[in-house]
Structure 1
Amino acid sequence: MSDTASLQGVSEAQLLIPLGDYHLQPIAHQKRATRNADLWSPLRYPGGKRQLVPFFVDLLKLNDKSPLDLFVEPFTGGAAVSLHLLAAGLVERVVLADLDPLVHAFWHQACFNTEQLVSDIQAAEVTLQEWHRLRADPGKTLREKAYACLFLNRTSYSGILQGRAGPIGGQKQQSKYKIDCRFYKDEIVFRLRQIGELAASGRIAAVRRTDVHATVRWVEKSYSESSRLYYFDPPFWDKGERLYRKAFGQKEHERLAKLLTGLHTPWVLSYDYHQEIIDLYRSSAQEANQDESDLVPAGSPRLHTTDLLYCNRHEKRGATELIITNLSKVPEERINDARR
């Protein structure tokens, strides 16, 4: 795809964001989270979008939405974007929601029963036997599910909770990287307590186990007077069933498109790049009846592609991300700077 293309008169831009070491980066080499600088998620999430943080920082400023009253992630996952925006003071509050019972339990406990989860993590025996126990039965209570979510996330290949993913180091633990190589207890506890502080101060306003449609309805009813922005990061279009416990089928993708193209509140959507998604949102927008405003008129969604560069010590691999938004302005200057 060329640097500038068109889709029914809508421009697409290429954005290259180098990420540095992405897989199995030693914790000592990471920037330590602080209250006034940054906050890293305790979860390693497949398709995590921390690399899009600079885009969101500039997007908020460009559209005069900083500080923003409310930032909403209906597909929370690792919540990397929400946590950074909170720590940086660019948003006042966030609402987190996820339909996966393990992911919801983790965020609920991390926010509202922090020390209980901290205690469980500190006492954890990071062994292959514990991995198999939790994989077979993650438990029934919020406490049990939250612990299982975090343990399995930090000890499974690429952080995948879906049942097909094996343990880091393999079943025979003959790899250079063993099952505990990502389980840095002190750092995990540090991050959990930072999250607990945000929740205690009301900056993490709610953690809900609802699907995207129920989440949007609840937020629109509960925060109708607040300046807000939704960030939708749904399961991948391709191979989602291999990565997520709550994957989407064709109908779910279509329902989401219908919801978003009829939503007047500002939103941003990220997807793995596929022509079917472009066609879906183009046709859905044409069917929506929206009034003209500071948002993009119906029939003209803004589509951009983002080239993400994932790196480790051995290889670099790229992935093209599709960004769709109803905001009229996107940070073109960051796109240009990133490509030099």
Structure 2
Amino acid sequence: MHTDNTQQASSPSRRQFSANTELRSPLRYPGGKRQLVPFFVDLLKLNDQTPLDLFVEPFAGGGAVSLHLLEAGLIERTVLADLDPLVYAFWHQACFKTEQLVADIATADVTLEEWHKLRANPGKTLREKAYACLFLNRTSYSGILQGRAGPIGGQRQQSKYKIDCRFYKEEIIHRLRQIGRLATEGRIAAVRRTDVHTTVRWVEENYSQSRRLYYFDPPFWEKGERLYRKAFRRPQHERLAKLLINLQAPWVLSYDYHDEIIDLYRASTDANGRTPGGLVPAGTPRLHTTDLTYCNRHEKRGATELIITNLNNVPHDYINRT
């Protein structure tokens, strides 16, 4: 049984901080989709959806796409949901208890001892969990919260990259206050700890008259259990596919490229029918691929990403093949 906690809005840094107009997430998220921001910017413009009434991320994670689109004025509001209790707590506090989280980050003792303490016990309250989420995310390898990831710099801290090398307090606090401002303005419409099916059902019940777009970024098919605290197994991937193929509202889905994922959606790729409003008929999503680059301290590596959508019009500058 999922807890449905809906909330609706009404030490010095090691590098020079400079505010800019782009709002980036405070979270470093494995598989984060900030690289897809230009795709979504052009997607909304191509489909004459700016400003869009509502953008929904049922797998919020780092929320990079929503934050950019909000700050750029391309969407009016967003709904963020995540089933991971730490990630949900972060978004709840960042949006609705911003200064509490700011105070916790400002006084954080960024040490290996604190990392071990929070890894063993992230706390019980939303405030404690939010702090643990952000602390562990900024101090763990690749931002991974899942238990197998170690601290940046290793247990002996012998690397030139120490545990605090990505903990830029001034910048993190600036980003948190930007998020708090958006929530205060009512532009982050809700933060929910619900699974994808409950989130979609809630949005359809409450925002069916709004022009809306869902962005689904579920756990990776491969290595999901190594990256996420709330990973998917095959039945969950299959259930998600069934949900999306029957969803009438516009949606975009991104996945790691894998034959099994393609097989879940391939049966519908040959359909040529179109419907009013720029959507393909229910059950006929389009499959595309794009290239992303993932970085860690050792290397940059390219990856092919699946982009699946029920929109007819996609910006082909970002697409390899359909």
Q: Distance in 1 between matches of 2:223 and 2:294?
A: 18
- Report the counterpart of residue 201 of structure 1 in structure 2: 185
Aligned twin of 2:103: 119
Other-structure match for 1:267: 251
- Candidates 168, 171, 186, aligned match of 2:152: 168
**Structure 1 residue 134, shift from structure 2 partner:** 0.3
For 1:145 and 1:313, locate their aligned partners in 2 and report how far apart those are by CA, in whole Å.
Answer: 27
Segments of 5+ residues of structure 2 without an aligned counterpart are: 1-13
Shift of 1:292: 3.7
Check the 8 A contact 1:33/1:39 in 2, yes or no. Answer: no
**Alpha-carbon distance in 1 for matches of 2:59, 2:296:** 26
User: Which 5+ residue runs of structure 1 have no aligned equivalent?
Assistant: 1-25
- The Cα shift of 1:313 comes to 7.4
Contact 2:241 2:265 (C-alpha < 8 Å) held by counterparts: yes
CA distance in 2, matches of 1:27, 1:238: 35
Greater length-normalized contact order (CA 8 Å, ≥ 6 residues apart): 1
Corresponding position of 2:217 = 233
Q: CA deviation at 1:156?
A: 0.2
In the TM superposition, what is the alpha-carbon distance from 1:253 to its structure 2 partner?
0.2
- Native 8 Å contact 2:245 2:284 kept in 1: no
- Does 2:144 correspond to 1:156? no
TM-aligned CA distance change 1:299 to 1:216, over 3 Å: closer
Cα pair 1:282 1:299 within 8 Å, conserved: no
RMSD between aligned alpha carbons?
A: 1.9
* Partner in structure 2 of residue 4 of structure 1: none
Residue 303 of structure 1 aligns to a residue whose secondary structure is strand
Is the contact made by 2:93 and 2:127 (CA closer than 8 Å) also made in structure 1? yes
CA distance in 2, matches of 1:173, 1:314: 16
Aligned to 2:124: 140
In the alignment of these two chains, the number of paired residues is 304
> Which residue matches 2:112?
128
Q: Secondary structure at the match of 2:313?
A: coil
Q: Distance in 2 between matches of 1:49 and 1:151?
A: 21
For 2:142, give the aligned amino acid: S
CA distance in 1, matches of 2:72, 2:282: 33
Check whether the contact 2:122–2:129 (CA below 8 A) recurs between aligned residues. Answer: yes
In structure 2, the partner of 1:50 is 34
Deviation at 1:333, TM superposition (A): 3.8
Q: What is the aligned-residue identity percentage?
A: 80
Per-residue CA deviation, residues 46-95 of structure 1 (Å, 9 max, x unaligned), is 00000000000000000011110000000000000000000000000000
- Alignment partners' CA distance in 2, 1:248 and 1:27: 37
Select which of 90, 106, 109 maps to 2:74.
Answer: 90
Within 2, Cα distance between the matches of 1:118 and 1:162? 24
Q: Structure 1 residues 96 and 33 mapped into 2: Cα distance closer, same or farther (>3 Å)?
A: farther
Aligned-partner SS, 2:42: helix
Q: 1:213 is aligned with what amino acid?
A: H
State the partner residue of 1:191. Answer: 175
Distance in 2 (alpha carbons) for counterparts of 1:196 and 1:147 = 15
**Aligned partners of 2:234, 2:19: CA distance in 1, in Å?**
39
Distance change in 2, residues 1:59/1:170 (3 Å): same
Corresponding residue of 2:91 = 107
- Label 1:312 to 1:100 Cα distance change in 2 as closer, same or farther (>3 A): closer
1:317 aligns with 2:296: no
**TM-score (norm. length: structure 1):** 0.86
Amino acid across the alignment from 2:78? V
Aligned-partner Cα distance in 2 for 1:282–1:112: 42
- 1:33 touches 1:40 (CA, 8 Å); kept in 2? no
Query: Taking structure 2 as the reference length, what is the TM-score of the superposition?
Result: 0.90
Shift of 1:141: 0.3
Contact 2:218–2:255 (CA under 8 A) maintained in structure 1: yes
Q: Quote the offset at 1:27 in angstroms.
A: 5.5
Q: Distance in 2 between matches of 1:63 and 1:81?
A: 17
Q: 2:200 is matched by which residue type in structure 1?
A: V
Matches of 1:331 and 1:55, distance apart in 2: 7
Q: Distance in 1 between matches of 2:189 and 2:157?
A: 41
2:307 partner letter: I
